[in-house]
Amino acid sequence: MIRLSIRHAGVAVLVAFSLSVFQAAAQQQVPAAPAQDSSAAAPSEPAPAAAPVFPKPDPANFTAATPTKETVNAFLQTLWGYDDTRIWQVQAILKTQVAGLSKVVVFVGDKTGKQKPTGTQFYAFPDGKHIIAGDEIVTFGEHPYADYRAEIQQRADGPFRGSPMKDLELVEFADFQCPHCKEAQANMEKLTVDFPKARVVFQAYPLEKIHPAAKTAAEYGVCVTKEGGSNAFFTYATAVFDGQDGLATPDGATLTLNSAVVKAGLDPVKIAACATTPAVDAQVEASVKLAQDLSINQVPTLMINGRQVPIGGATYDVIKQIVQYQEKLDGIAQ
């Protein structure tokens, strides 16, 4: 995945969902080797790992009135509940020197015991809707994705596949020149098959500073959609991603985009003229503004009913598991 700071983040970002939980390497608890006799007995099996036992919380470490322990647990259940092996314990909710700002400390582990227990902390704002986790502001509360979901339902206007309804809306923010976005397309195709009731939207988020051709590719995509509809757009998008290497030079970008337009069954001269209009530029800029307003700072990112999931490098099984869990949270019949 590509962050705006041009850093590559690992799959741990997906698993941790913006909280600064350090994902420790798995550790096997292996007993000492037994004494061997001359009969050369078979080696013993490793002892099964046990779930971690967290230290008992000290009531003296709960000095802040908000958020409550119940609210924190509800938030973490929404955040991490898709993974039924993850366990946690709220260890402290402390007042800070800033009025209304509380420090929350959580211990995290997994039921298998293979992962070393770790601690994480975040700071909760007095509005009850946001926290500071690491260097990011993250939505918080028992229903942390509700506001973003409403924002997306109102403003996401990209081409889509699947249902015209927005009960389950999967909005991919992507950059045509981003290699990780190209890799993510196979998983996006699988989502359209496995979730036929979903509305799967492509929302352009060109990172112009590092991908000079990305905005032009997005502008062509807007015009292809206007002329040929969503089906033509996804044919065009597939062709652009397939020929992504050609976007590296101005001449190569022109050839790549025109070829993709032809594959979509449209006139490249007409699309090129359309792509230079102020209205199309404004539409792409509005898509970028939406991503920024949703605090998306890397591509590719998938918004699942307002839930932000960085999908660069993520396995399909994990993505599918999260979509299914969000369906359950939102009461959507499968």
The pLDDT tens digits for 67-96 are: 999 999 999 999 999 999 999 999 999 999
Q: What is residue 294's predicted lDDT score, i.e. its pLDDT?
A: 96
Q: What is the reported pLDDT for 47? A: 53
Residue keyed to tokens 């946690």? 88
Residues of the chain with pLDDT under 50: 4-42
Query: What six digits make up the tokens of 300?
Result: 């590719």
pLDDT, residue 44, reads: 55
- In the chain, which segments carry CATH 3.40.30.10? 147-329
Write down the pLDDT at residue 28: 26
Q: What CATH number has the domain spanning 147-329?
A: 3.40.30.10
In the chain, count of helices (H) and strands (E)?
9, 12
Predicted local confidence at residue 12, as pLDDT = 36
Contacts from 117-125 at CB under 8 Å and sequence distance 24+? 117/52, 117/54, 118/21, 118/22, 118/23, 118/24, 119/91, 120/19, 120/20, 120/21, 120/22, 121/20, 122/19, 122/20, 123/96, 124/66, 124/67, 125/100, 125/101
CB 254 within 8 A of CB 243: no
Q: Tens of pLDDT along 80-138?
A: 999 999 999 999 999 999 999 999 999 999 998 888 889 999 999 999 999 999 988 99
Show Cβ contacts of residue 41 under 8 Å, excluding neighbours closer than 6 positions: 34
- The predicted structure's pLDDT at residue 32: 30
Predicted TM-score of the model (pTM): 0.85
Q: Which residues contact 199 (CB under 8 A, 6 or more apart)?
A: 160, 161, 162, 163, 164, 165, 166, 168, 169, 170
Q: What is the pLDDT of residue 309?
A: 96
pLDDT for 46 equals 55
